[in-house]
Amino acid sequence: MDIWQPEPGETLLARTPVTFATGEAMRVRGMRWFRDTERNDIQSELPGWPEGPVYAARSTGGSLVRNIGKGGGLALVGVLMAVLTGGGGSGPSSSRSGSGSSDDRADEIEDFPVTWAAPGTIARTLPWQLDPARSSEEHYRTHAIVTDRRLVIVGLPFYKKDRTIIEDEALWETERSTISRVEPRNFRNERDVKVLFTDGSWCRLSAISRTELTRHLVHPLDLVPLESLTPTQRNTVDSFLATARAQAPDSGPPVITRRPCGHYRVEVLPPSRVDSFFGATELDMIMGSDGAEVELMAQHPDDF
């Protein structure tokens, strides 16, 4: 296996599968665009990108006709609800979670850009392998890796019969300092995230486990050095590490973060628990400021 590893002195925080997001509203469902700041399509300008599909947003009238033909009156009612409420409104969501209404009509209902990038900006450097229309997830996956220094995209072959085979290829990276903010986007699902860069460009990604991607990006947390813990806290962490290493002998040093509620999250991400479908599965524990492990029912929302 060839698993991407951080450099000496760099802390691995998370790894999860990501792709460019996909439109959910009727006009843009199943589609995505790559735009400049004038809303022009730029996919043909992106260096090294293979050809991909050219999409056209559906007209409301055309969508109505198609839905009437397929589903009769009930489909028409659903479509009318979507039109009247801005692509979802109070009608049923197209997924089991997420908001039925959009607060970004221009970029979620009328159009669906997944990159927004002037010439020479960071979002134009993202790898084409993130596009499901250019790189089939049947055979290839892309993962986002978050460290205390970088956001990295790796690509790897996907072997459905053995997801433990990891053959990482580093595709792209940017320093954490180039990311101005990260915004979860909840229209129709709770997988999408908008990553905004300091040069004004941005991208919209979809993550299998968005929490893993955003935990250290939306509100960067304090990393707590092991040696700064009290003796009681250190004993609890040492006991956790002994248990973790019994399950995964390749467990490295723990990542300890102080939560806003005052608890500590202690976790390790062993290479042996990297899965090509799910990404890295951590072993973790929540500890109180007194050094006692916090049971699940006593944990706070901040702990997650």
Residue 162 shares a structural domain with residue 227:
no
pTM, two decimals, is 0.85
Residue type, 44: S
Specify if 152 maps to a domain: yes
Pairing outcome for strands 202-207 and 192-197: antiparallel
Q: Which residues contact 243 (CB under 8 A, 6 or more apart)?
A: none
Specify if 79 maps to a domain: no
Q: Length of the chain in residues, anyone?
A: 304
Residue 30 shares a structural domain with residue 163:
yes
Query: How many structural domains is the chain composed of?
Result: 2
Which of residues 187, 214, 241 is at a domain's end?
A: 214
Residue 145 shares a structural domain with residue 273:
no
Residue 268 shares a structural domain with residue 296:
yes
Per-residue pLDDT in tens (0 to 9) along the chain, 304 residues: 699 999 999 999 999 999 999 999 999 999 999 999 999 999 999 999 999 999 999 987 544 333 333 333 433 334 343 343 343 333 333 345 777 788 889 999 999 999 999 999 999 999 999 999 999 999 999 999 999 999 999 999 999 999 999 999 999 999 999 999 999 999 988 999 999 999 999 999 999 899 889 988 987 778 999 999 999 999 999 999 999 999 999 999 999 999 888 899 999 999 999 999 999 999 999 999 999 999 988 888 877 7
Q: Can you give the pLDDT at residue 72?
A: 38
Residue 249 shares a structural domain with residue 184:
no
Q: Can you give the pLDDT at residue 93?
A: 35
Q: Can you give the pLDDT at residue 89?
A: 33
Specify if 38 maps to a domain: yes
Q: Which residues of 256-275 are buried (b: 16+ CB within 10 A; e: fewer)?
A: bbebeeebbbbbbbbbebbe
Specify if 167 maps to a domain: yes
Residue 103 shares a structural domain with residue 138:
yes
Q: Can you give the pLDDT at residue 61?
A: 56
Instruction: Please give the residue range of the domain that contains residue 154.
Output: 12-59+86-214
Q: How many Cβ atoms from other residues are within 10 Å of residue 303's Cβ? A: 17
Residue 177 shares a structural domain with residue 209:
yes
Which of residues 214, 230, 259 is at a domain's end?
A: 214
Specify if 288 maps to a domain: yes
